Amino acid sequence: MKRRSKRSSPMACAAIPMPRLSDDAVIQIHDFIHHVLDLFEARYGDQIHRFYEDLRSDCRIEPASNLTLDDPPF
């Protein structure tokens, strides 16, 4: 069984107290987070893509091979 992560909603994040920051500090932290994420995806990107591809394939419905397009639905 695959372990799937749950993403928290934006409202769940609102419970975390966030300090007031200067514009410069906000941009520096934002850029740092993006840089770390880029490094993380460069290292683990294949695994991330495989995980989401597996999710997509789990959701696909197999077509019934014995149905023809000429048959009415009811």
Alpha carbons 64 and 71: distance in angstroms, whole number? 13
Structural domain spans, the chain: 22-59
Question: What does the alpha-carbon distance between residue 58 and residue 68 come to, in Å, rounded to a whole number?
Answer: 25
Of 1-5, 30-34, 39-43, the least confident? 1-5
In the chain, DSSP finds a helix count (H) and a strand count (E) of 2, 0
Report whether pLDDT(8) > 60.
no
Alpha-carbon span 43 to 31, nearest angstrom? 19
Note every long-range contact of 60-64, with CB atoms under 8 Å and residues 24 or more positions apart, other chains counting: none
Q: How far is CA 58 from the centre of its chain?
A: 15
Task: Considering only residues 43 and 61, tell me which one the structure prediction assigns the higher pLDDT.
Answer: 43
**pLDDT given for residue 46 in this prediction:** 96
**What's the whole-model pTM score?**
0.53
